[in-house]
Amino acid sequence: MSLSKADYVKSIFQAASGNFLEMYDFFIYGFYAQYIAKAFFPAHNQYISLMVTFSTFAAGFLMRPIGAIILGGYIDREGRRKGLMLTLAIMAIGTISIAIVPTYESIGLLAPLLVVLGRLLQGFSAGVEVGGASVYLSEIAPARHRGFFVAWQSSSLQLATMTAAGIGYLLNSVMMPDTIQAWGWRIPFFIGALIVPLLLVLRTTMRETDAFLAQRKHPEFSEIMRSMILNYRIIIVGALLISMTTVAFYLSEIYTPTFGRVVLHLSASDSLLTSFAVGLVALFAVPAMGALSDRIGRRPLLIAATILAMATSYPVLLWLVSNITFYHLVLTEIWFALLYAMYNGAAMVTLTEIMPARVRTVSLAFAFSVAVALFGGFTPMISTWLIHTTADKASPGYWLTFAALCGICATLMLPRSKNLASTDTAAQVGSSVPNFSD
């Protein structure tokens, strides 16, 4: 089916809407971690309280691989449109739960249990959201612009970061810290809950992709599992490929507010403005890099970004902690955002191109979810642990360096196919396991 430019814009907006809600929720959880810790996970030691809060944050990521298999299989069997509507509905429950659950002082242990349950549901649905949206965008995109289209999925995450940071900045401007601690931190979660009906309406009008409709037979769950086992190598490589992009994102955007306030002792407003600036840069940089990958190939960008990350991650953070100012924090995080944009602009579309066509959503979502569960979701907790253990405020740079090493290893193992940007790449890898020996 031939789509107009307006149809393409609408389809991108519909597909990316769920990613917006997912990242909006993750950002405000990361930013208000201190307040959430006191409300639901009180402890005499701030480090322990914060670690438990980030552990709950990470627990949601452990549900992602399960959600990727179950919901990803549903999407590959029933259709992109139906699946993306279902994931958004489940995701909304996680956002609403944080907003309405009473504090530990009010209901005791039931409070943290309900929060954990909400995070698990959120992680379950998020396990397929990025993968489902990426596959949808790759299948509706003109072949020569696939990288540019898929990149808008990641750009929606930046818009969510900017929105959440803007709301947080406004609250910090009009409310006293005690008021925010008492109940003000819940307002952004309520706003997220109010956005849900609009996003559900948007998704109900999505069109199904031609690629899915063209399949004569859609796989049953047993076939999906068998295909994933047969294609285990490409899934492992895909997970390693995503490690760099997920750590760079969660380090530069999700962990930044806590890092700025708790570690560098800058103001909450400074941390929020930094997150807003990082989101603004990445909002346009990711699609630009996606378009560049359409022109020069995926592999050159992947290699360049990982080498730069390995060479600069720790030195840049060391420079920041040795010269702590708001402007230095902004420059540091923007540098990480540019590394993320360069890598992500090529990585996400590569993932859609190397996965088998009949089980593309579940395979992509599972690889992505494993990477986020093992790398991204634990980034705030690992960063907090590294700083506490080593007494080195720049030590999170080691974590990004390690993720970049995983990324370049995965890039070198990718199947050869005209720089991973040929117009028929997806078809080439649709029915067979790529050759990893070259």
Top-confidence residue, 421 or 128: 128
Residue 422 has pLDDT above 60, yes or no: no
Segment 260-296, tens digit of pLDDT: 888 888 887 888 788 888 889 999 999 999 999 999 9
C-alpha–C-alpha distance, residues 346 and 286, integer Å: 9
Predicted confidence band at 417 (pLDDT cuts at 50, 70, 90)?
A: low
> Which residues, including other chains, have CB under 8 Å from residue 56's CB and lie 6 or more apart?
41, 112, 115, 116, 119
Residue 356 has pLDDT above 90, yes or no: no
Residue 134 has pLDDT above 90, yes or no: no
Nearest to 136 by CA among 193, 87, 186: 87
C-alpha–C-alpha distance, residues 38 and 209, integer Å: 46
Top-confidence residue, 139 or 61: 139
Top-confidence residue, 49 or 14: 14
For residues 137-168, one letter each, b for 16 or more C-beta atoms within 10 angstroms of the residue's C-beta and e for the rest, the string is bbbbbeeeebbbbbbbbbbbbbbbbbbbbebb
List the structure tokens of 249.
């994102």
Residue 431 has pLDDT above 60, yes or no: no
How far is the CA of 214 from the CAs of 31, 208, 218, 358, in angstroms? 44, 11, 10, 11
C-alpha–C-alpha distance, residues 181 and 45, integer Å: 17
Instruction: Work out the number of other CB atoms within 10 angstroms of the CB of residue 96.
Output: 19
The stretch 155-159 carries a mean pLDDT of 86
Predicted confidence band at 203 (pLDDT cuts at 50, 70, 90)?
A: confident
List the structure tokens of 344.
């992500």
> Which residues, including other chains, have CB under 8 Å from residue 129's CB and lie 6 or more apart?
18, 19, 22, 84, 87, 88, 91
Segment 75-109, tens digit of pLDDT: 888 877 787 788 878 877 877 888 888 888 888 88
Please name each of the domains of the chain with its CATH number. Answer: 5-205+219-428 (1.20.1250.20)
Count of H-run helices and E-run strands, the chain: 21, 0
pLDDT of residue 322: 93
List the structure tokens of 206.
């999505």
Top-confidence residue, 209 or 9: 9
Residue 300 has pLDDT above 80, yes or no: yes
List the structure tokens of 295.
């022109």
Q: Phi and psi dihedrals of 215, rounded to 5?
A: -75, 125
C-alpha–C-alpha distance, residues 31 and 268, integer Å: 9
pLDDT of residue 2: 61
Average pLDDT, the chain: 83
Predicted confidence band at 3 (pLDDT cuts at 50, 70, 90)?
A: low
Top-confidence residue, 191 or 438: 191
For residues 8-41, one letter each, b for 16 or more C-beta atoms within 10 angstroms of the residue's C-beta and e for the rest, the string is bebbbebbbbbbbbbbbbbbbbbbbbbbbbbbbb
How far is the CA of 289 from the CAs of 146, 340, 344, 371, 419, in angstroms? 12, 10, 8, 21, 15
Nearest to 352 by CA among 130, 32, 92: 130
The model scores a pTM over 0.85: no
Nearest to 29 by CA among 124, 224, 168, 146: 168
What are the residue ranges of helices labelled H in 141-186?
146-174, 177-182
pLDDT of residue 79: 78
Predicted confidence band at 200 (pLDDT cuts at 50, 70, 90)?
A: confident
C-alpha–C-alpha distance, residues 372 and 267, integer Å: 29
Nearest to 251 by CA among 388, 156, 378, 408: 378
Top-confidence residue, 342 or 168: 342
Residue 53 has pLDDT above 90, yes or no: no
The stretch 188-193 carries a mean pLDDT of 87
